[in-house]
Structure 1
Amino acid sequence: MSETDALPLAKKSGCLVCHAIDKKVVGPAWKDVAAKYRGDAGAEARMMDKIAKGGSGVWGAIMMPANPKISEADRRALARFVLSLK
């Protein structure tokens, strides 16, 4: 998924309230997430789960809210986009 396609989906899904591609907002910069999980075969599935269920502790104490209404296909697209960043 290209940035042109991903950013409207991320905005619609509420991701851009706390995240940006290349700078920390409330949550980590997506490029930092991609760097941390580069080469990790299970990262996509874990990220999809984190988007749906939320959580905290990986990137600090502030909790990422659960987003159960984001479809599996959209969660997969967002996770793949984030993990593709360099």
Structure 2
Amino acid sequence: MPQDLNPQTEVNKPELCESCAGVQRNWRGAPGHPELMQGVNRKEARGHGQVTITKYRCERCGTQWEYENDKVNLHAGWSVVGH
């Protein structure tokens, strides 16, 4: 029986549900999905001013997301921040 040389690889790999896996990351204006529950938001300073960052959590798989609402940065948007 072959042994896995790195058994931690699969253990540490976050499991995204199908809906989370379909979210387009780092693209301003990309939609989330209905099972993302909104949490708190905060303001952060950028070179051009402040942006709003809102936390979300998927009710199905528990993935934690943040959405950066930065109208000047086309590559702001959704990012996974935890599981």
Between Structure 1 and Structure 2, whose CA radius of gyration is higher? 2
| Larger helix percent | 1
TM-score tier (shorter): under 0.3
| Larger strand percent | 2
TM value normalised by structure 2: 0.26
Higher RCO, Cα 8 Å, sep 6+? 1
